[in-house]
Amino acid sequence: MSKMHVTTTINGEPTEFLCDPDRSLLDVLRNTLGLTGTKEGCGTGDCGACSVTVDGRLVCACLMLAVEAGGCEIGTIEGMAQGGELHPLQQKFLEMAALQCGICTPGVLVAAKALLEKNPDPTETEVRFGLAGNLCRCTGYDKIVRAVLDTAAEMREAVQ
Amino acid sequence: MTDLSPPAAFLAAGPDQPRRNPSGMGAALRHDSALKHATGEARFLDDLPEPPGLLHAALALSPVAHGRLAPLDPAPARAVPGVVAVLLPGDIPGRNDIAAAGTNEVMLADGLVEHAGQPLAVVVGTTRDAALAGAAALRPEIAPLPPVLCIEEAIAREAWVLPPQAITRGDPCAALAAAPRRLSGEFRAGGQEHFYLEGQIALAVPGEDGEMAVQSSTQHPTEVQHLVARVLGCDHNRVTVTTRRMGGAFGGKESNASWVAACAALAARRTGRPVKLRLPRRVDIAATGKRHPFLYRWTAGFDATGRILALDAIMAADAGHSLDLTGGVIFRAITHALGPCDVPALSVRALACKTNTVSNTAFRGFGGPQGALLIEDVVHRVARAAGLPPEQVRERNFAGGGNGSETPYGQPLEGDLIRRVWAEARADADWDARRAEVAAFNAQHPYLRRGLGSMVLAFGISFGQMHMNQAGALVHVYADGSIRLNHGGTEMGQGLFIKVAQVVASVFGVDVARIAITATSTAEVPNTAPTAASTGSDLNGWAAHAAASAIRARMAEVAAEDWGVAPAEVEFAEDMVRAGGNRAMSFGELAKLATMKRVSLSATGFYRTPDIHWDRAAMRGRPFFYVSYGAAVAEVAVDTLTGEHRCLGAWLVQDCGRSLNPAVDLGQVEGAFIQGLGWLTCEELWWDAEGRLRTLGPATYKIPGSRDVPPVLKVRLLEGAPARSETIFRSKAVGEPPLLLATAVWNALKDAIGTDRLDAPATPERVLMAIRDR
Amino acid sequence: MAEIRYLAPRTLDEAVGAFAAAQGAARILAGGTDLLVQMRNGLAKPGLIVDIKKIAEMTEIAELPDGGFRIGAAVSGAMLAEHPRFGQVWPGVLEAVNLIGSKQVQGRASPGGNLCNASPAGDSVPAMIAAGAVVTVQGPEGRRQMPVEAVPAGPGRTNLRPGEIVVGFTLPPRPAGSGDAYLRMIPRTEMDIAVVGLGVSLTLAGGTVTHARVGLGAVAPTVLLVEEAGNALLGSRLEEAALDAAAAACRAACRPINDKRGTIAYRTKVAGVLLKRAVAIAAQRAQGGN
């Protein structure tokens, strides 16, 4: 199979890779680039464990071909903490014990960050709706929802 | 092996000592890997760098539920580019037997296929895609036999995977005949897919001299070791199994993880190369066991006050095609069939039905949740028949008070705690006011109906198999005062590792940050029990306590000799060691001193649960070290035109004794409740007429999502109720019991629509049909 | 492994040429949310993937001079939601498109893909049928137009001719007093596939229905235009009798299957309930409510 050359930006870093045309972005992130923070839960776009952003839009990396990433800005969990500083969402998830086994956590955090970037003042319903594509089998979601709402409030205060 | 009996160790550590250390017992510390989880740095098995020469395996599964399997032709798979081996039963060097409890449960079908989804072959390829394509290319020839696909048919054929079990007390026939009123019921509860977000995975690396190093996402490294050795035909000492963490397990990585690892090990042995087997989600759901579905039939005798005088019940569990852990599941179901209630005369019989479906297995609660539904259904029906609220009928039958205070098999129950958790949950939910609100709402809305329900649980803690109630730990203190902790428990997200580390920190009086938490390994602690039955902290906490206490005793002697004081005067606290008013050194200095004095700073610890016993012939004994209690109230709303429903709020009170870590324990209670909510309301396994499971992924199998859970979820740990048994720091287990609290939602749905019978899962469709039938 | 190629042409002619030349071995990639799953499960093994998202027309949302809308086939649900006007004019269509999966899926999935996947349960299709949307397709023989309801032929099959690609949808101009709505019944609140999906578009004048279309999904091999239901509403003032007649027409149109998501009895019953509820929402919108 003839491999294709793809040039993209991942977490702000210009990145190039070679891949077969049928490889998913998830496969390339994990197995070619070693960015294993993005997880595979179902492989069918139904669980959200592989959530990443592409040009600021939240997508499931398992539902996108890697070749489609050419020229795009990809954001993964590895880019969420900046300069050794945790993102406020990460900090709040730790404080509020909003994670257990941790395998859904990167996807949840990426989705929550995308949500707050679009809507810095979401209602609880909007948070629940925004995270509906991220399955968690451990926590029951309550602490996750509270952590996102609390973070949003703190981030709004910090801006003021 | 240092074997400190628990009471001695208990006294040595002073369980009631003030909690001076901020990171010791009772501190709400975060999960040991929380930071790494939040940054994506925590490595699950599939995240690890791949060893050189790695091959990938895939399973070929039976498309047929029951039939004669002709010898499989490997040629179509071999023709797929990248496929290097196709392994069939004849390629197994040891025994083709993965039975966890019994014998003769095949790993790869040999001549006979007993369920759709049964593994037929292991295909090995240079890439995972090649292995999967090879597996898909195989064309098994199966001459179909008629499958048994439901519990009723298995009962009619008396097809069991093990003989029925029964618990009786008094003369239920006579008591039924003498009771003022009698009532019969029938209902069913469905199974449940674990849906751990990390699927089954194992990596097997062959070594020298027949060694096999296996990394497995398993709750039971020791069983993986045993099965790998059995399948490979080698001694246990050739096989080392390691588990750092799992991405969820819930019972699904007990026996099922073992055969997945054995398949990987078989492939590694046959190819001489490292092999990884990671099941795709569809294969995972098709090939691994689930929670047992149950069918219930009962007759109860009662009086006008709602007192249940007699009960004659059958609980039939769908075991699937083989035994697996069904014996333990039905044991727990019949021992939990009365919940917190007392019934003076009864017979409860449990049937283990053999069907041509995947072999059902452990799932959080292990038959306990299914057992508890029996008394809840009886209470609900008796209440309706007697014109009383179900809560009043349940209270009328609570163990203790004027009623009996022992289960029918001899386990004492604490009637005061049963009444206390219920009173607190009722108060938290503001029950009377809420009941009035619900009635007012229902009086005015044309088609929405609200309902209130409750649940009170009593859950026995200990493995039903007495020999499994043991644990080991290995603790090293290094010369710089840093500590390395290892024990037989596994981390699946439940926070076991941090809780056990807190126990050790507490013994040494040091900050928990001083302790390195390490992967579970059969090479470090052998012959362990699975991390299951909620016993992880109880067992491993005590074992680690014993190991740490042994080292502390030696260190105290070193300090005492150095200072010329008695060892009993040496205190360990705040990362310091002190005696009298002015003798002090840091913990690290003492460690260094001990090594200079040639004192061992390494110890194993061992624990076996005391005071438990069971007489299998009489079906009597005290199988549980203690009992955990909890209570819940739930409010629901039902759309009576479509059957759609939502849980609007839930108020939970769970007894954790004196919690080792409230942050972790609260998380367990919430998560278990929501998992129970899924089991009882939305998670439906659907088989087609040929016995093929068709809900093979999250697109069709629905676990609760962020909008399916109650917007109001108030969870509290029972306060001021240290365990009365000698548990580790008077804590109580928390993994499974709160799953039963979700029964409150099932009860609330029945309240909302006013129905006698509501099978679980109470999907919108079932709710609508129940409304129509009522 | 069979050879597989990926093309992302910039022009429609290029795309049609490559797609037609592949003679059935090619698949169109828009959002990919169905295609990638099918490829992973071995249900689709394309020799060529034609990504149409680099073709400007495919990702455009245009408000036409007559007040209608043209939506490119590869427009994602998220793009449609971000359009300042579309959701005001066609709230029901927007709801339907954004019921397809989660936020993650909405960022990719398109109404064109939803239509071509030809699932009887595709959410956007009943709403598009109710809206009276017309589909533009282009193939080796040129361009043509067809009503949305004419596209699905059966589960997973369409009436597109070999080599034809869906280019976009045209939604008609909305007279004053119009409103639409889409409702679906699913076992769970989010992230599920409809057991029944129902779209309604109404125009009212002085409280009387002057135009009504009903699209019904997940109850037959294809999504249906239920003309009898629309006719039952036409000329009425949405009295109970008219609603009953329209609900009965919906139930009568059901030819569902028993499957893992619902039984025949359940789907049929719910279809009637959804009709009444969707009509109520559409009527409220038509009369200036939200």
- In this complex, is the C-beta atom of C40 within 8 Å of any C-beta atom belonging to chain A? yes
Interface contact flag, C263 B765, Cβ < 8 Å: yes
Paired residues of A14 in beta bridges: A9
Question: If you average pLDDT over residues A149-158, what whole number do you get?
Answer: 96
- Whose CA is closest to B321, among B533, B64, B89, B60? B64
Q: B692: nearest CA in chain C?
A: C260
Separation between Cα atoms, residue B750 and residue B452, nearest integer Å: 9
Is C150 in the A-facing interface, judged by CB distances under 8 Å?
A: no
Based on the domain organization, do C162 and C243 belong to the same domain?
no
**Which percentage of chain B shows pLDDT scores above 70?**
97
User: Which segments of C53-169 does DSSP mark as H helices, in order?
Assistant: 77-82, 86-89, 91-97, 103-106, 111-117, 124-131
Task: Measure in Å the smallest separation between the Cα of C164 and chain B Cα atoms.
Answer: 30
Q: Give pLDDT tens digits for A74-126.
A: 999 999 999 889 999 999 999 999 999 999 999 999 999 999 999 999 999 99
Residue B25 C-alpha from the chain's centroid: 24
How high is the mean pLDDT of chain C? 92
Do C113 and C188 belong to one domain? no
**Nearest one of C75, C35, C29 to C50, comparing CA atoms:** C29
Question: Which residues, in sequence order, are CB contacts of B183 under 8 Å at separation 6+?
Answer: B299, B300, B302, B381, B382, B385
The pLDDT assigned to B4 comes to 34
Say what the alpha-carbon torsion angle A126, A132, A138, A139 is, to the nearest 10 degrees: 10
* Phi, psi angle pair for C5, to nearest 5°: -120, 155
Contact C49 A21 (CB under 8 A): yes
Calculate mean pLDDT across residues B347-359.
98
**Same domain? C250 vs C211:** yes
Contacts of A127 in chain B (CB under 8 A): 706
Residue with tokens 């899962």: B761
pLDDT in tens, C146-197: 999 999 999 999 999 999 999 999 999 999 999 999 999 876 544 456 688 9
Residues C192 and C160 in one domain: no
Each residue of A32-45: b (16+ CB within 10 Å) or e?
Answer: ebebbbbbbbbbbb
A37–B39 C-beta distance less than 8 A: yes
Touching check for C270 and chain B: CB below 8 Å? Answer: yes
Question: Is some CB atom of chain A closer than 8 A to the CB atom of C102?
Answer: yes
The whole-number average pLDDT for the span C6-25 is 95
How far apart are the C-alpha atoms of B175 and B172, rounded to whole Å?
5
Model confidence at B102, pLDDT cuts 50, 70, 90, reads confident
Q: Does residue C153 belong to any structural domain of this protein?
A: yes
Domains parsed from chain B with CATH numbers: 6-30+470-608 (3.30.365.10), 45-145+194-287 (3.30.365.10), 294-464+615-773 (3.30.365.10)
Q: How far apart are CA B476 and CA B479, in angstroms?
A: 10
Count of beta carbons in the 10 Å neighbourhood of residue A71: 11
Report the Cα–Cα distance between both ends of chain C, in Å, rounded. Answer: 53
Instruction: Name the pLDDT band for B8 (thresholds 50, 70, 90).
Output: very low
**Looking at chain B from residue 82 to 101, which residues have their Cβ under 8 Å from any Cβ of chain C?**
82
Q: Are B625 and B726 in contact (CB under 8 A)?
A: no
Distance CA C74, CA B252 (A): 41
B389-B395-B398 Cα angle (round to 5): 145
Label residues B520-539 b or e (16+ Cβ within 10 Å = b). bbbebbbebbbbbbbbbbbb
For the segment C223-273, what is each residue's pLDDT rounded down to a tens digit?
999 999 999 999 999 999 999 999 999 999 988 776 666 778 888 888 999
Q: B651-667 b/e with 16+ CB inside 10 Å = b?
A: bbbbbbbbbbbbbbbbb
A117 touches chain B (CB under 8 A): no
Please check whether residue C55 lies inside any domain of the structure: yes
- Average pLDDT in chain B: 95
Total domains in the fold of chain C: 2
Which residue among C42, C187, C259 sits closest to B682, beta carbon to beta carbon? C187
The DSSP output letter for B707 is T
- Statement to judge: residues C146 and C32 lie in one domain: yes
For residues C11 and C100, membership in a common domain is answered with yes
CATH superfamily, with its number, for domain A88-159: [2Fe-2S]-binding domain (1.10.150.120)
pLDDT of residue C263: 79
Burial grade of B423 (CB within 10 A; 0-12, 13-18, 19 or more): middle
pLDDT digits (tens, 9 = 90+) for B657-704: 999 999 999 999 999 999 999 999 999 999 999 999 999 999 889 999
Residue C129 domain-assigned (yes or no): no
B394 contacts: CB under 8 Å, gap ≥ 6: B340, B341, B379, B454, B456
Mutation for C interface: A50, A53, A63, A129, most C CBs within 10 A: A63
**Which pLDDT value is given to residue B24?**
78
Q: Tally Cβ neighbours within 10 Å of residue B448.
A: 16
Q: Are residues C205 and C164 in the same domain?
A: no
pLDDT at position A104: 98
The correct CATH number of A4-79 out of 3.10.20.30, 1.20.1530.20, 3.40.50.2000, 3.30.365.10 is: 3.10.20.30
Q: Could you tell me if C12 and C105 lie in one domain?
A: yes
Q: Does B700 touch chain C (CB under 8 A)?
A: yes
Consecutive H or E run containing B631: strand B626-639
Q: Which chain A positions have a beta carbon within 8 Å of C4's beta carbon?
A: 1, 20-22
For B568-593, what is each residue's pLDDT tens digit? 999 999 999 999 889 999 999 999 99
Q: Which domain holds residue C192?
A: 178-286
Question: In which residue ranges of chain A is CATH 3.10.20.30 found?
Answer: 4-79
What does the pLDDT average to over B53-59? 98
Kindly report, residue by residue over A39-48, the tens digit of the pLDDT.
Answer: 999 999 999 9
Residue C128 lies in a domain: no
Is residue C127 a part of any domain in this protein?
A: no
Q: Is C223 on the interface with B (CB under 8 A)?
A: no
Helix (H, G, I), strand (E, B) or coil at B276: strand
- Contact present, C38 and C44 (Cβ < 8 Å): yes
Asked if C1 and B130 come within 8 Å (Cβ–Cβ), the reply is yes
Residue B539's pLDDT band, with cuts at 50, 70 and 90, is very high
8-state DSSP, A67: G
Reported as a pLDDT band with limits 50, 70 and 90, residue B22 is low
> Quick check: is C266 in a domain?
yes
Helix (H, G, I), strand (E, B) or coil at B256: helix
Report residue B212: phi and psi, to 5°: -140, 115
What share of chain C has pLDDT > 90, as a percent?
80
Interchain CB distance below 8 Å, B705 and C269: no
pLDDT digits 0-9 by tens, B255-304: 999 999 999 999 999 999 999 999 999 999 999 999 999 999 999 999 99
Whether the CB of A75 is below 8 Å from some CB of chain C: the reply is no
Q: What is the CATH number of the domain that holds C57?
A: 3.30.465.10
pLDDT at residue C191, rounded to an integer: 44
Return the bridge partners of B758, or none.
Answer: none
Nearest CA in chain A to B48: A36
Q: What is the pLDDT of residue B366?
A: 98
Cβ–Cβ < 8 Å for B202, B257 = yes
Which of B33, B37, B734 to substitute to test the interface with A, most A CBs within 10 Å?
B37
pLDDT tens digits, one per residue of A143-152: 999 999 999 9
Chains that touch B (3 or more CB pairs under 8 A): A, C
User: Which of A1, A8, A51, A68 is the best substitution to test chain C (most C C-beta atoms within 10 A)?
Assistant: A68
Chain A residues in contact with C101 by the CB 8 A cut-off are: 45-46, 133
- With contact defined as 3+ CB pairs under 8 Å, the chains touching A are B, C
- Is the pLDDT at B3 greater than 60, yes or no? no
- pLDDT tens string B211-239: 999 999 999 999 999 999 999 999 999 99
Residue pair B168/B162 in contact by the 8 Å Cβ criterion: no
